[in-house]
Structures are given as C-alpha cells and as structure tokens.
C-alpha cells in the first residue's frame, strides 16, 4: 500500500509560468513533509520541507502548501526555469529519527 | 558541497561476485544511515536502516544475508551485495541525518550521489 502518492508521472510547463506538483498521503501519523529534486544517476537533493504545524513554507521561488485535512501537499515553483527540469519526489515521515517514505516522483519539464 | 558521499558511483560486476558500496558522512556524525534502492522510473524504496554499533534493520522482503550492512563508525556505513545476480542491478542510494543537537540536524535527509550497479 503506497503511503505517499504522486499521481502525475510527468508535467510540462512553459518557462516563466508556475509549476504545481501534487502529492497525497494516507498515513495520518506523518508530521514532516519534504520535497526532493533528482537528476538522472544522481542522489536526490533536498529542496524544501514543511512541518505538520504549518500550512505553508516559502523559500525563494519554491513554496510548499500543506492541507492536513485533505492529506495533500503541493509544491509551487514560480517562475519556472529550464534548470528546474528534473524528477521531483515528495517524501514524508513520522516524528523521530525515522526513514522517509517517498512517492514515485513527477518528472517536470520546463520548456523554454 | 556534498555532505554524504558514496563510492563507487558506477560498478559493473560478473554474476556471482560481491560488491561493496561505501557511504560516508563528510562533516557530521550520523548515528543512523538509510539505504534506498531505485529501479528505473520507480520510487526510492527503503531497504534497511543502518545503526552505528548495532545490527541493521531490514525492510520486509529485503534479504539480510544478501545485502550485508555494516555501520562500524559514525561516519561510515557499507552495503555489500553478496553473490550478485542480474536482478540486483539497480541504483543504490544511501542517506543520513545528523544526530539531534549536533550540526546538520535540520530534519531532512542528506543523500549520497548514488551507486549504479550492473550485474552481467
């Protein structure tokens, strides 16, 4: 049973527009959520995170929104740039030193 | 710069041989490291949790005798794929989180660069 779901395997956006990547989770014990960016043949790099006590966290062009009642989070990238083209993984974990559970990823292509 | 380093990045081996992958935390002590595996176009799947000075905890379905994990120091964990077979070909990624109260403890995991294993 997949606890973290990214239902869109791919997304194409024009440069300068907003990219919205979505993620749903089923485990109500998750209290920390993260987004990672991954290029082929490389390890994931941390992008942004949000604690369950917040509903929004912003860092530059990246904003993560959390809707706990819907068990849904989203990553907004604005404006999108060609260098943002990568696979984005949503991840979640319980409190404590627990491993992350990842979604399957969404491949974002930003077209110039 | 990278805070978690993996070696080797690429390895090709013959079926039946064993391969060791190293994961090092470069500027912090990691009491716990996690080993993930990724098949093409799939998610990162947790294989095991490596704890310094104790036995690793394996996820269901992961053979502990095939994937040997040794976390002998606070900065090094190794994954050895024993008697490798073509179906073990995959992208293996380690990750670490700094200990609470110390540097690098910010909640997120730091990932290594990954190691691509191809078994012929």
Q: What is the pLDDT of residues A16-27, one digit of tens each?
A: 999 999 999 999
What pLDDT shows up at residue B24? 93
Residue A82 phi/psi, 5-degree rounding, is -55, -35
pLDDT average, residue stretch B17-32 = 90
CA atoms lying within 13 Å on the CB side of residue A26: 8
* Cβ separation B42–A43 shorter than 8 A: no
Give the C-alpha separation, B36 to B95, whole Å. Answer: 8
For residue B92 the two structure tokens come to: 């293996």
- Answer whether B16's CB lies under 8 Å from B86's CB: no
* pLDDT tens string B82-104: 999 999 999 999 998 765 555 55
The residue ranking higher by pLDDT, B74 or A95, is B74
What pLDDT shows up at residue B101? 53
DSSP label of A18: -
* Cβ separation A34–B97 shorter than 8 A: no
Chain A residues with beta carbon closer than 8 angstroms to that of B107: 32, 49
Beta bridge partners of A65: A56, A74
Q: Which of B45, B46, B116 sits opposite A41 (nearest CB)?
A: B116
Residue in the structure block whose two tokens are 């024009």: A14
**pLDDT class for B40, splitting at 50, 70, 90?**
confident
What pLDDT shows up at residue A108? 97
Chain A residues with beta carbon closer than 8 angstroms to that of B4: 43
Size of interface A-B (CB pairs under 8 A): 51
Strand B32-38 to B90-97 pairing: antiparallel
Give the C-alpha separation, B113 to B8, whole Å. Answer: 9
For residue B20 the two structure tokens come to: 């060791």
- Answer whether B12's CB lies under 8 Å from B74's CB: no
For residue B38 the two structure tokens come to: 């990724």
What pLDDT shows up at residue B94? 93
Residue in the structure block whose two tokens are 């989203």: A74
Give the C-alpha separation, A23 to A56, whole Å. Answer: 14
Q: What residue in A sits closest to B57 (Cα-Cα)?
A: A99
* Cβ separation A46–B110 shorter than 8 A: yes
The per-residue pLDDT of chain B, averaged, comes to 87
Alpha helices in B13-120 (DSSP H): none
pLDDT, tens digit only, all 112 positions of chain A = 689 999 999 999 999 999 999 999 999 999 999 999 998 878 888 899 999 999 999 999 999 999 999 999 999 999 999 999 999 999 998 877 678 899 999 999 999 9
């Amino acid at each position: 049973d997949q606890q973290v779901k990214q239902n869109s395997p791919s997304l194409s956006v024009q440069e300068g527009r907003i990219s919205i990547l979505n993620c749903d989770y089923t485990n109500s014990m998750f209290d920390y959520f993260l987004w990672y960016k991954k290029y082929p043949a490389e390890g994931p790099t941390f992008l942004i995170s949000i604690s369950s006590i917040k509903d929004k966290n912003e860092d530059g062009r990246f904003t993560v929104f959390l809707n706990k009642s819907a068990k849904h989070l989203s990553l907004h990238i604005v404006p999108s740039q060609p260098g943002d083209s990568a696979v984005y993984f949503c991840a979640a974990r319980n409190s404590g030193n627990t491993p992350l559970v990842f979604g399957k990823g969404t491949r974002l292509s930003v077209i110039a | 710069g990278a805070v978690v380093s993996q070696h080797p990045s690429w390895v090709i081996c013959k079926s039946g041989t064993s391969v060791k992958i190293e994961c090092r935390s470069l500027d912090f002590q990691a009491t716990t490291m996690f080993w993930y595996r990724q098949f093409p176009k799939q998610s990162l799947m947790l294989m095991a949790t490596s704890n310094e000075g104790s036995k690793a905890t394996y996820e269901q379905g992961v053979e502990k005798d095939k994937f040997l994990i040794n976390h002998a120091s606070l900065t090094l964990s190794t994954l050895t794929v024993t008697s490798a077979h073509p179906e073990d070909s995959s992208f293996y990624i380690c990750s670490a989180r700094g200990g609470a109260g110390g540097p690098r403890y910010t909640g997120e995991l730091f990932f290594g660069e990954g190691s691509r294993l191809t078994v012929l």
